[in-house]
Amino acid sequence: MSHPDPIQELIDLRLPAVAVSFREEAPAGVERIPAAAAAGCGYWSLAAEGRVFYTEAVDHHGCPVGAHTHGIDLPPEKAEELQGLVQVMVGLEYLRLEEVPTLPRRGEQFGVAIYAPLAEAPVEPDVVLVRGNARQIMLLTEAAQAAGVHPDSAAMGRPACAVVPQTLQGERGSTSLGCIGNRVYTGLKDDELYFAIPGPSVQPVIEKLATIAHANRALEEFHRARMPAAEAVPTI
């Protein structure tokens, strides 16, 4: 029986939050993904569907950019593929060559990555990924700010997978607008984006989220009640 996801319940998410954990070995009772996804972010969607599994480094070779951000050393042929993909992106003026070394990247040795719906996570998460619309992410960002883990930087753009090492390294929440690859592989809707929370900060953010969600409902009523009077004030 699945357990309720407090984040999903508090802000009415379409899909549950996803827990991502990095470990040297897979925990007992968790099975490896039976078939590799075309891109690492595809595992986010599988976990949001309710699946609990782990991946090995080779399961991330399908997307050289995602492998790079997750700290996975590529075999020569895949490293060459990464360079070719980068050159295509540069040729399309989608990416500047000098940006590549600055992309966030996990520095630790990759063993396995464990994916699960937050409420079903078999180990403590390192990063929790929340997918929602602008209003839902607004509430979550306000809760993270109240919990002291609001991001210092602006919302991140491509690649979406870089939000994982960014959150790990900064130990603060991170907003990602996604990228075109992520939207293809995960079905991310046009009005959806991501907010990533450091694993140790999830519970404080959830506690603040309950307060923030209630406050926003009350403030919405307050502001709507003021609208007729505000509209009657002449503009200068």
| 131 vs 29: CA distance, rounded Å | 27
Please, what sign has the CA dihedral across residues 212, 144, 4, 44?
positive
In terms of pLDDT, which residue wins out, 154 or 230? Answer: 154
**Sorting pLDDT into bands at 50, 70 and 90, what band is 2?**
low
CA distance 218 to 17: 25
49 pLDDT higher than 80: yes
Show me where the domains of the chain are located.
10-232
Span 165-182, average pLDDT: 92
Q: What is the pLDDT of residues 184-229, one digit of tens each?
A: 999 999 999 999 999 999 999 999 999 999 988 888 888 888 877 6
CB 169 within 8 A of CB 104: yes
Does the pLDDT value for residue 167 go beyond 90? Answer: yes
- pLDDT by residue (tens digit) across 54-88? 999 999 988 878 888 999 987 787 777 767 777 77
Segment 85-104 shows an average pLDDT of 73
Total Cβ atoms within 10 A of residue 16: 25
Region 131-157: mean pLDDT is: 90
Q: Which pLDDT belongs to residue 37?
A: 92
| Residue 136, pLDDT above cutoff 70 | yes
Distances (CA, A) of 186 to 14, 131, 201, 224: 14, 11, 25, 36
Of residues 235 and 70, more confidently modeled: 70
What is the per-residue pLDDT for 177? 94
Both structure tokens of 65: 């950019």
93 pLDDT higher than 50: yes
Share of the chain above pLDDT 90, in %: 63
Q: Is the entire prediction scored with pTM above 0.75?
A: yes
